[in-house]
Homo-oligomer: A and B are copies of this chain.
Amino acid sequence: MAKKVLLKDIARKAGVSTTLVSYVMNNQKENRINKETAQKIRDIAGALHYRTNQVAKSLKTSRTFTLGVILADISNPFSANLARILEDQADKFNYTVIFGSSDENPQKFGKLVDAFIDRQVDGLIVSPPAHAEDHLEAIQNLGIPVVLLDRYFLDIKASYVALDNYSAAREGVKHLIGSGRKRIGMITYQSDLLHLQERERGYYSALSEGHLAFEKNWLKEIGIGTDPAEIKKALDEQLAGPSPIDALFLGSNKIAAASLKYLNTLSVRIPKDLAIVSFDQSEILDIFYSPVTYIRQPLQEMGEAALHLLMDQVNHSEHLSQIQFKAELVIRESTGFPV
């Protein structure tokens, strides 16, 4: 087991000071250092397989080149896709990412924030759960760069990158109306999260702009745990009674997964009996027998923007940016006319 090699070891072997070795390893003061000495140092460092101890470096420089990312649940494809995009983007800035899943739980979110701050992350990119305002303010009070992703809070003056959820939902529902549907249902989460409420607002707007009736029974708000039993109950109720829905707007990929699974077991046919629009991209929407029309968030662009905003803050820009991206409606069979 090889002993760790330090700057000191290189210095000794080269007959110079650690100062000089440090400069060379960091490619600093290049013009002031003797070329041959520099090369000698580099050769020795290479031969000894020197690797700098980032912990020591970070302590001295107050920069860890580490980024904290907190998402809802890394095992959820939406989070996982974002995670991957952020990982790749961070790498471009030579940053490493530490991840955490908050499970929509503000206490857990707070614990992760603390743990990441203790590790002296240079900044945070977070998708906070509802009621996380206090933790966000605490981050800002410490002067730690932070960018909100996917979510935002009216009371929090922080940079964020999100979707224009209102317009996205409105467009999705308008598309259903344009396809001739009259009784449009929605399944979404019962949540205080603003971006989810915006989706509901978009749904209502589209209905009223389309001069369509709205029945209370058509809108179902379920717990954020996405219990399959709740989804079944919601769908059963929406599809029963004197005015069953003929179109359905699904508010998230997890809601879509549970709904499509259940719909597979029913006699209702997509799109003949029921047209569907779902929020977010997901492979399950491709595999469903009637590929599902969906609202595509430009995750790549959003992730890039989040990282750039964060890097701006890390580099001490005071500029507050709040970016809302537009969604793209990807139209497929599930909203086609009856076949």
Contact = CB atoms under 8 A, between A and B. Distances in A.
Given A87-B99, A142-B2, A118 B52 contact: yes
Interface stretch (A8-16, A69-77, A199-207, A244-252): A69-77
Contact of A84 (B75, B98, B257, B287): B75
Given A80-B80, A97-B98, A120 B55 contact: yes
A87 B79 CA distance: 14
Interface stretch (A109-117, A150-158, A213-221): A109-117
A51 B80 CA distance: 30
Number of copies of this protein chain within its complex: 2
Interface in A84-124: 84, 87, 96-101, 114-120
A58 interface: yes
Contact of A73 (B84, B119, B291): B84
Nearest to A120: B55
Nearest to A282: B283
Contact of A286 (B2, B143, B261, B291): B261
A83 B87 contact: no
A289 interface: yes
A47 interface: no
B75 A100 contact: no
B77 A74 contact: no
Interface in A257-285: 257, 260-261, 264, 283-284
A229 interface: no
A1 interface: yes
Contacts of A74: 74, 80, 83-84, 87
Interface residues of A, number: 51
A87 B81 CA distance: 17
A56 interface: yes
Contacts of A260: 287
Nearest to A62: B55
A141 interface: yes
A54 B120 contact: yes
22 contacts: A4-B142, A53-B118, A54-B118, A54-B119, A54-B120, A55-B58, A55-B59, A75-B81, A75-B84, A76-B80, A79-B80, A83-B83, A87-B99, A96-B98, A96-B100, A96-B115, A97-B98, A98-B98, A98-B99, A257-B286, A261-B286, A264-B287
Closest 3 CB pairs of A and B: A75-B84, A80-B80, A1-B143
Given A51-B114, A52-B118, A83-B83, 15 more contacts: A2-B143, A53-B120, A54-B120, A55-B55, A74-B80, A74-B84, A80-B80, A83-B99, A87-B99, A96-B100, A98-B98, A257-B287, A261-B287, A264-B289, A284-B284
